[in-house]
Homo-oligomer: A and B are copies of this chain.
Amino acid sequence: MAKKVLLVYAHQSSGSFNAAAKDAAVKALKAQGCTVEVSDLYAMKFKASATAEDITGEVQNAEHFRYAEETKLAWKAGKLAADIVEEQRKVTEADLIIFQFPMYWFTVPAIMKGWFDRVLTLGFAYGHDKRYSSGIFKDKKAMLSFTTGSQESMFSANGINGDMNVTLWPLQVLAPQIFWAPSHITTAARKTMLEAWCARMQGLLEEEPLTFTPSDCFDGEKGFQLKPEFHEKHANKEFGLTSGIHLGKPLPPYNQMKVGV
């Protein structure tokens, strides 16, 4: 069956490098027979802020409004705002989600953060028994594709911005496609960047995800700490498990940028 791809895209200008990267991805994926949907957030004037208006009709507790709990109830009752429902449909149908954006202040632009906050609601996207490797998205893939303003060297473990693996830790799944500072290079070099991106697209749907620690390695009875057997198993290893679950060891190099490390 044809694979479905959702491309969540956040740039204001059709003349941007981000637009070119988005267009290249759509073309390469369609050429492989994939179905591609694009959520062009600025063009959609996507609402970024999580408010009571995201629930149709009365909320449960207006006095002490709690976004996660109210959207969970609304999701169950089919009372979420139409734009959220539409994005959730796209997420449900997608085999792969690509987020295309320029990095703003070390993470996604606010409009895309709003997509995370409003679309990935409690109940639909996560819950006490649904998270990480036991989450509802465990059979889907997601990846970041983004541009930076800074050079690559500035985002290393001894560069002025610090290690990009640490910056990316809270964000992702498949290895990211990083376009380092395209505004500082020649048109020819930008074209080469796009060609590499198109080439990667050929095998993207079969790519292995980055290394994460499966959630059943943690003990829910003991504050979701790593179970002793995994600690012991890893005791003589040089590096931590991941950038976040580092066990006080050096971080595994490229853990958030390359597969298999």
**A250 contacts B249, C-beta separation under 8 Å:** yes
- Residues from chain B with Cβ under 8 Å of A218 in the complex: 159-160
Question: How many angstroms from the CA of A108 to the CA of B215 in the assembled complex?
Answer: 24
User: Distance (Å) between the CB of A240 and the closest chain B CB?
Assistant: 7
Nearest residue (CB) in B for A217 is B160
- Segment from A23-31, A48-56, A195-203 that makes contact with B: A48-56
CB-defined interface of A97-122 with B at 8 Å, one 1/0 digit per residue? Answer: 00000001111111101101110100
Interface of A is mostly: loop
**B48 contacts A111, C-beta separation under 8 Å:** yes
- Segment from A32-40, A64-72, A82-90, A137-145 that makes contact with B: A64-72
Contact of A42 among B42, B49, B105, B253 (CB under 8 A): B49
Contact of A226 among B50, B107, B159 (CB under 8 A): B159
**A167 contacts B251, C-beta separation under 8 Å:** no
Number of copies of this kind of chain in the complex: 2
- Segment from A1-9, A12-20, A186-194 that makes contact with B: A12-20
Nearest residue (CB) in B for A104 is B117
Question: How many angstroms from the CA of A226 to the CA of B161 in the assembled complex?
Answer: 10
Question: How many angstroms from the CA of A171 to the CA of B166 in the assembled complex?
Answer: 12
Question: How many angstroms from the CA of A179 to the CA of B67 in the assembled complex?
Answer: 18
Q: Which residues of A contact B (CB under 8 A)?
A: 12-13, 15-16, 41-42, 45-46, 48-52, 63-68, 104-111, 113-114, 116-118, 120, 131-132, 149-154, 156-163, 166-167, 169-171, 213, 215, 218, 222-226, 231, 240, 242-251, 253
Given contacts A50-B12, A66-B13, contact A224 B105 (CB under 8 A): no
Question: How many angstroms from the CA of A112 to the CA of B106 in the assembled complex?
Answer: 14
User: Distance (Å) between the CB of A63 and the closest chain B CB?
Assistant: 5
**B66 contacts A245, C-beta separation under 8 Å:** no
Q: List 12 A-B contacts (CB under 8 A).
A: A41-B49, A48-B49, A50-B111, A105-B113, A105-B117, A110-B117, A153-B224, A157-B244, A158-B226, A159-B223, A161-B224, A166-B243
**A170 contacts B107, C-beta separation under 8 Å:** yes
Given contacts A42-B51, A246-B250, contact A156 B66 (CB under 8 A): no
Nearest residue (CB) in B for A63 is B15
- Residues from chain B with Cβ under 8 Å of A248 in the complex: 157, 250-251, 253
Given contacts A169-B166, A225-B158, contact A109 B50 (CB under 8 A): yes
- Residues from chain B with Cβ under 8 Å of A171 in the complex: 106
**A110 contacts B105, C-beta separation under 8 Å:** no
